[in-house]
Amino acid sequence: MTQQSKSDPVIALRGIHKSYDDLMVLRGVDIRAHEGDVISLIGSSGSGKSTLLRCINMLEICQQGDIQFCGEAVRWSGDGPGRMPADQAQVVRMRTQLSMVFQSFNLWAHMTVLKNVIEAPVTVLKRERGEAIDEAMALLEKVGIADKAHIYPAQLSGGQQQRAAIARALAMRPKAMLFDEPTSALDPELEQEVVKVIRQLAGEGRTMILVTHDMKLARDVSNHVVFLNQGVIEEEGSPETVFGNPKTERLQKFLHASVAA
Ligand SMILES: Nc1ncnc2c1ncn2[C@@H]1O[C@H](COP(=O)(O)OP(=O)(O)OP(=O)(O)O)[C@@H](O)[C@H]1O
Ligand SMILES: [Mg+2]
């Protein structure tokens, strides 16, 4: 196993290609997220944003390209369409350090909010139950829903459910967090509750990759913005450059359409 050095990116992707049968969705994507980076991934519907996030945590297997996590490269067996991770234990270990928050919350409906948050720390990380509960309550406090700890997800608003999902992700003490449109299923005022939590996490120096349609959020929280178009990075840079001085016509059109939406 490679030893992590201080300068290794938390996530390093090189030449990621992903196809579904004949449809080539990602055509060679490179991204590096260092500790504390907040990278926003923007692009039109179908450009491959969710697919890229799913390739990072290996919910999908990319057919070409390298993934490194804290300096450790994913080991593959086979090539092209038949390629698979060579070491399932490595995948599980990496995945537990990479929490993903989805648009649709994905809480377990039959468990209370507190149980949702402590489940993986207790069963996967083997944390002591009492400690896991204390930490979970602190996280629920942090996202502003400690008073909802003992009720079920169906009794929460969408914004509260998403904040519970974020607390659950944080309870794994991840090295990086992946967000796939965490606010887009929410009404505007509920969205703001979640945006506030994401801003707070960014301010704490957490490493995050955030797929969002919310250009204001991308501009506010990220230090790097990646514009994905038809499976390639069309343009990237600081939020000031990408939003303030877009170079390609495609990005100009995309931003124009986003403002109009
Ligand atoms: N499991 C799958 N099987 C086949 N095709 C898929 C699968 N998942 C995604 N695709 C296709 O891959 C392309 C990229 O999809 P993806 O979900 O990554 O886009 P996106 O950028 O996240 O879009 P959106 O903004 O609408 O969420 C689309 O053409 C989609 O139809
Ligand atoms: Mg998507």
Written as one string, the DSSP assignment of 84-120 is EES-HHHHHHHHHTEEEE-TT----TTS-HHHHHHHH
Q: What residue type is 177 in one-letter code?
A: M
Nearest CA to ligand 1 atom 18: 48
pTM of the predicted model over 0.75: yes
pLDDT average, residue stretch 145-158:
96
More confident residue, 5 or 32: 32
**For 176-207, what is each residue's pLDDT tens digit?**
999 999 998 888 888 899 999 999 999 999 99
| 8 A C-beta contact, residue 145 and residue 174 | no
Is pLDDT at 6 greater than 80 in this prediction?
no
Q: Whose CA is closest to atom 17 on ligand 1? A: 50
pLDDT score recorded for residue 1: 44
pLDDT, position 2:
47
Residue nearest to atom 2 of ligand 1 (CA): 20
What does the alpha-carbon distance between residue 110 and residue 108 come to, in Å, rounded to a whole number?
A: 6
Torsion sign (Cα): 11, 14, 18, 23: positive
Residues within 6 Å of ligand 1 by CB = 20, 23, 25, 43, 45-51
Ligand 1, atom 9: closest residue by C-alpha: 51
| Ligand 1 centroid distance, CA of 209 (Å) | 18
The whole-chain average pLDDT of the chain stands at 94
CATH superfamily placement of domain 1-97+178-261: P-loop containing nucleotide triphosphate hydrolases (3.40.50.300)
- Enclosing H/E stretch for 239: helix 239-244
On the question of pLDDT at 5 being above 80, the answer is no
Residue 168 has pLDDT above 60, yes or no: yes
Most informative mutation of 23, 183, 209 for ligand 1 (most atoms within 8 A of CB): 23
d(CA 122, CA 191): 30
Cβ(18)–Cβ(66) below 8 Å: no
Task: For residues 261 and 253, give the distance between their C-alpha atoms in angstroms, rounded to a whole number.
Answer: 12
Q: What is the mean pLDDT of residues 46-50?
A: 96
Per-residue pLDDT at 40? 97
CB contact at 8 A, 50 and 211: yes
> Ligand 1, closest atom to CA 43?
21
What is the pLDDT averaged over residues 227-240?
Answer: 97
Instruction: For residues 151-179, give the mean pLDDT.
Output: 96
Q: Identify the pLDDT of residue 190.
A: 87
Which 3 state secondary structure label does DSSP give 216? helix
At 4, the pLDDT band (50, 70, 90 cuts) reads low
Q: 82: CA distance to ligand 1 center in Å?
A: 20
Q: Which ligand is nearest to the CA of 228?
A: 1
The C-alpha atoms of residue 14 and residue 160 are separated, in whole angstroms, by: 36
pLDDT at 261: 67
Q: What is the Cα–Cα distance from 147 to 140, expressed in whole angstroms?
A: 8
Spatial CA neighbour of 136 closest among 73, 154, 128: 128
Per-position b or e across 80-111, b if 16+ CB within 10 A of its CB: eeeeebeeeebbeebbbebbbbbbebebeeee
Residue 146: per-residue pLDDT: 97
User: Whose C-alpha lies nearest to ligand 1, atom 26?
Assistant: 45
Q: Are 53 and 61 in contact (CB under 8 A)?
A: no
pLDDT at 185: 87
Portion of the chain with pLDDT greater than 70, in percent: 97
In whole angstroms, give the CA distance from residue 229 to residue 29. 11
Q: Which of 51, 61, 178, 233 to mutate to test the pocket of ligand 1 (most atoms within 8 A of CB)?
A: 51
Over residues 33-62, the mean pLDDT reads 96
Average pLDDT for residues 28-54, to the nearest whole number?
96
The residues of the chain that CATH labels 3.40.50.300 are 1-97+178-261
Confidence of residue 105 (pLDDT cuts 50, 70, 90): confident
In this prediction, residue 81 carries a pLDDT of 83
